[in-house]
Amino acid sequence: MPQIHALRRGLYRLLESHTERGMARHAVNTFLILLIITNVGAVLLDDAGSTGPQWQPLLQGFTDISIALFSAEYLCRLWVVVENEKFRDMPPARARLHYIASPAGLIDLLAILPFYFRASLDLRYLRLLRLFWLLKLTRFSPAMQSLAAALYEERRSLLGALLIAIVLLMTSATIMHVLERDAQPAVFGTILQSMWWAVVTLTTVGYGDAVPHTVLGKMFGGVCALLGLFMFALPTAIMTRAVVEQLKRRDFVVNAQLVSHVPLFASLGIMRIIEIATMLKPRHVPPLYTVVRKGDPADCMYFILSGELEVQLQPRPVRLRVGDFFGEMGLLDGAPRNATVTAVTDTQLLILEEKDFHKLIRAYPEMRTTIETVAAARRSVPDMPGVSAA
């Protein structure tokens, strides 16, 4: 059983872990991306009639192999999802249901499912369905993930903008219907008919198939065209701000200024801070994310740049705040994590890996003393407040 768990953990890191940056993970991702792109290319060539009948068996074989590989990928993801920190406290069946119902899980499933019912489906549509595989690429694009996160975070504001658009649409269709119904009963005879004009005008598309003829209708048409510009400016502004915010949160860059805000490093000279900045990696974690889990092997320590975390201790949890560090005990003792630490808010961390930790405390004995003092204080009073290394 331990081997099975180790295999599952390894496979999870290979397929899903966002912190894993190894060659193997890179190779798997590249392979999957190439498989998707090649398939889409094959569909487009096939659709354009560029492939003769002699190529059909080869194309069919390629599709079958791709479907088999994507099916294997789906089953693997379903198996390893229980390793995700978010689901660790859930029964495995519930964790797997979460994956099945997640947007990424649904895309993965819908990408393969129709091909298992190919006998009862029209082959022409089935072929085009492979274009849907492009959606699988979202998993590999942090930018697309930021866009999805921004959409989700701003869903209420966007819904508000949509309501404004609907009100504008209905009002302008009704007014135009009143102004033009006598002059053009065939085009503006009902509010429903006028709505086509309103959509085309407010979206500033203007096909020109429905145009006002009366003077009042033309004047009102101009006002609607201008209102259309403002109608789009609102959701565009909401999304721009939200995406920039997401990107800032995810891809913050470790620089000397950030490092100088960590109390442990603050008194060092700029050259030393620049050197230390090269050792630290940025990490953004959402609320409720478990950063370290009691009993896991210790391979790094963390510095808190923003947000708050909780060390799960009895009888009371302990809060860690900006400037605090954690994960030092495991590295000092070479022991497993002695507590679970979970993010309470959106949190930005700096990660110092084990080898760099040892390099650092060898080079700066005073830093070692500070970290050891904090660790000793934490050990002697298990539920004492997070001690800042200021």
Q: In the complex, which residues of this chain contact ligand CMP (CB under 6 A)?
A: 292, 298, 311, 313, 318, 326-330, 337-339, 341, 378, 382-384, 386
Closer of 193 and 347 to ligand CMP (Cβ):
347
Helix (H, G, I), strand (E, B) or coil at 170: helix
CB of 323 to ligand CMP, least distance (A): 13
Q: Can you tell me the distance from the alpha carbon of 318 to that of 344, in angstroms, rounded to the nearest whole number?
A: 11
Angle at 218 between CA 224 and CA 231, to 5 degrees: 5
CB of 22 to ligand CMP, least distance (A): 23
Closer of 126 and 313 to ligand CMP (Cβ):
313
- Number of other CB atoms surrounding residue 15 within 10 Å: 20
Closer of 154 and 328 to ligand CMP (Cβ):
328
Strand partners, 312: 340
Dihedral over alpha carbons 38, 40, 42, 48 (to 10 degrees)? -150
> What does each C-alpha distance from 272 to 257, 267, 339 come to in angstroms?
12, 10, 31
Give the list of residues 6+ apart from residue 349 with CB closer than 8 angstroms, or none: 282, 283, 284, 285, 291, 302, 303, 304, 305
CB of 317 to ligand CMP, least distance (A): 9
Report which secondary-structure segment, H or E, holds 201.
helix 191-202
CB of 80 to ligand CMP, least distance (A): 24
| Closest residue to ligand CMP in the complex (CB) | 330
CB of 332 to ligand CMP, least distance (A): 8
CB of 351 to ligand CMP, least distance (A): 13
CB of 379 to ligand CMP, least distance (A): 7
Q: Can you tell me the distance from the alpha carbon of 154 to that of 161, in angstroms, rounded to the nearest whole number?
A: 11
Closer of 95 and 311 to ligand CMP (Cβ):
311
Chain centre distance of CA 390: 34
Residue 183 has, within 13 A of its CA and on its CB side, a CA count of: 15
Q: Is 60 left (phi over 0), alpha (psi -120 to 50) or beta?
A: alpha
Report which secondary-structure segment, H or E, holds 44.
helix 23-47
Closer of 277 and 329 to ligand CMP (Cβ):
329
CB of 286 to ligand CMP, least distance (A): 19
Closer of 127 and 294 to ligand CMP (Cβ):
294
